[in-house]
Structure 1
Amino acid sequence: MSLYNQIQEAISFIRNRVAAAPRTGIILGTGLGNLTDDIDVEAEIPYREIPHFAVSTVESHKGSLVFGRLGGHPVVVMAGRFHYYEGWSMQQVTFPVRVLKFLGIERLIITNVSGGINPHLKAG
């Protein structure tokens, strides 16, 4: 099955479960999973149920798409993500972002945790 057809299958599944059509997507990085507690959740879909989605193996990643309102703004949140180092291909790692775009997401906020060993580097 082509990538385009896989995306269409995932979108069809999501749209059958969710009426919301947010324009903002957020990909939560490690340590930010609790942000979903601040969302007025309208729907939550585990990745394992969405056709062609990978499933995160990182224990702290919830592994679901959360649709709702954050500060009154409609959003879809990726609560957990997939990593190349988990053994997924780059196509699988980027698949959810492609799906979000086809769902109508116009703004994507991506968060992560990073560090450095240079003592002169400051946060920010």
Structure 2
Amino acid sequence: MVQLNPQAAAKVLNAATSLRPILGIVLGSAFGQVAESIEVDATIDFAALPGCAASSVEGHTGQFIIGRLGGVDVVVQAGRLHYYEGYSMAQVTYPIRVMAAFGVEQVLLTNAAGGIATDLAVGDFMRIIDHINLMGANPLRGEASPGLPGFVDMSAAYSESLGQALGQAAADCGIELKSGVFAAVSGPSYETPAEIRAFATLGADAIAMSTVPEVIVARQLGLEVSGLSCITNAAAGLAKSA
């Protein structure tokens, strides 16, 4: 069994930089180019961190990038680990625990998602205001974390203040930021049209195969959370024919 030691991994980050950012960003699919805008102070491959696995998904480089973005000190997780890759929930969420051990207090989680809501079009950005966990798994199941709650309150998982800041940043860039409920499935197969109709009935506005496990662990660790989806396609059965 892989030994996960976020404190040991955080020491590697501490040794690589004098920066101590409180904001962490997870770059999901469709957000990889954000890394090119970072004033880089240090780059650490996942392979250099005790217990950290490597992503096998194209476009997910598997690095922590520490530097400045928009004048703010950040630690950026460039490359996400997915449950559908065969990793355990503990491995998928390990980078969040590493960032928390490094001193991060706020985290922005991004993803590429399929649009379910009729007001979401390809190219839209959606601020996540709540989620539905359809993955059939929970990262806290069977995890004994001394000093941390096992039963985590998810009634306000997404920070309203961070969400408002995200909205203001989007407005400053001339981007219309929509908001909605995000649903997560385990993948790797895509959803059927019948499933999408069911998820819409449940209240889902967008869907993807990530993010929710990290949100749960971030909340267990007491981090403020914000989520951002880029709508890259219409969900199954919803694409308009030419």
TM-based fold match above 0.5: yes
Q: Which residue of 2 aligns with 1:25?
A: 24
In 1, are the aligned partners of 2:24 and 2:75 still within 8 Å (CA)?
yes
Q: Which residue of 2 aligns with 1:108?
A: 107
Give the C-alpha shift of residue 120 in structure 1: 2.3
Secondary structure in 1 matching 2:103: coil
Q: Which residue of 1 aligns with 2:118?
A: 120
Secondary structure in 2 matching 1:115: strand
Give the C-alpha shift of residue 121 in structure 1: 4.4
Secondary structure in 2 matching 1:111: strand
Cα 1:2/1:85, change in 2 over 3 Å: closer
Identity, in percent, stands at 41
Give the C-alpha shift of residue 85 in structure 1: 0.3
Q: Which amino acid aligns with 2:113?
A: S
1:18-97 aligned at under 5 Å gives the runs 18-97=17-96
Cα 1:119/1:101, change in 2 over 3 Å: closer
Segments of 4+ in structure 1 off by > 4 A?
Answer: none
- CA distance in structure 1 between the aligned counterparts of 2:92 and 2:119, rounded to whole angstroms: 29
Give the C-alpha shift of residue 32 in structure 1: 0.8
Stretches of structure 1 lacking an aligned partner (at least 5 in a row): none
Give the C-alpha shift of residue 31 in structure 1: 1.1
Q: Larger Cα Rg: Structure 1 or Structure 2?
A: 2
CA deviations on 1:26-53 (whole Å, 9 max, x unpaired) are: 0001011110111100000111111111
- CA distance in structure 1 between the aligned counterparts of 2:112 and 2:46, rounded to whole angstroms: 22
Give the C-alpha shift of residue 103 in structure 1: 1.0
Query: More strand per residue: 1 or 2?
Result: 2
Give the C-alpha shift of residue 55 in structure 1: 0.4
- CA distance in structure 1 between the aligned counterparts of 2:20 and 2:102, rounded to whole angstroms: 7
Q: Which residue of 1 aligns with 2:10?
A: 11
Cα 1:2/1:54, change in 2 over 3 Å: closer
- CA distance in structure 1 between the aligned counterparts of 2:95 and 2:117, rounded to whole angstroms: 36
- CA distance in structure 2 between the aligned counterparts of 1:87 and 1:54, rounded to whole angstroms: 11
- CA distance in structure 2 between the aligned counterparts of 1:74 and 1:13, rounded to whole angstroms: 18
Stretches of structure 2 lacking an aligned partner (at least 5 in a row): 125-177, 179-242
- CA distance in structure 2 between the aligned counterparts of 1:15 and 1:63, rounded to whole angstroms: 18
Q: Which amino acid aligns with 1:120?
A: T
| TM-score w.r.t. length of structure 2 | 0.47
Q: Which amino acid aligns with 2:105?
A: E
Q: Which amino acid aligns with 1:89?
A: S
How many residues are aligned here? 121
Larger RCO: Structure 1 or Structure 2 (Cα < 8 Å, ≥ 6 residues apart)? Answer: 1
| TM-score w.r.t. length of structure 1 | 0.90
